[in-house]
């Protein structure tokens, strides 16, 4: 699953060459405990600008197809726990802020 889903009509182009928002319709959970402080604000802004509904917390109970959790590294102590609970995880990569992030 990639976070490029947009429900019909949501984020759709209204002409002028605009593309649909990458995270239109997605709920993204962004916790300061799971993301490096030096990139937190930039990731938050980039997610919002690309259509995500950003929640400034972690909520492992949210495991729907359009629920994503940002985590800084697969070596983070919470990574295995979130993955075991079925969370869709977005990992940090150099191109993440341009939304080349991957779903683990």
Separation between Cα atoms, residue 56 and residue 100, nearest integer Å:
21
pLDDT of amino acid 21: 79
- Could you confirm whether domain 27-98 is CATH 3.30.1360? no
Q: What is the mean pLDDT of each run of 10 residues along the chain (104 residues)?
A: 44 50 91 91 91 95 95 90 94 48 36
Residues 68 and 27: beta-carbon distance below 8 Å: yes
pLDDT of amino acid 92: 65
Task: Give me the residue spans of the domains in the chain.
Answer: 27-98
**Ramachandran region, residue 86 (left: φ > 0; alpha: ψ -120 to 50; beta: rest):** left
CB atoms within 10 A of CB 104: 14
Separation between Cα atoms, residue 28 and residue 93, nearest integer Å:
17
Q: What is the pTM of this model?
A: 0.71
Going by the DSSP 8-state scheme, the letter that residue 76 receives in this structure is S
């Amino acid at each position: 699953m990639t976070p490029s889903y947009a429900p019909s009509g949501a984020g759709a182009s209204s002409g002028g060459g605009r593309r649909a928002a990458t995270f239109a319709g997605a709920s993204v959970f962004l916790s300061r405990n799971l993301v490096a402080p030096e990139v937190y604000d930039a990731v938050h802004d980039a997610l919002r600008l690309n259509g995500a509904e950003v929640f400034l917390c972690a909520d492992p109970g949210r495991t729907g197809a359009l629920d994503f959790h940002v985590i800084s590294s697969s070596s983070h102590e919470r990574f295995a726990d979130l993955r075991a609970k079925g969370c869709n995880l977005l990992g940090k990569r150099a191109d993440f802020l341009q939304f080349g992030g991957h779903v683990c």
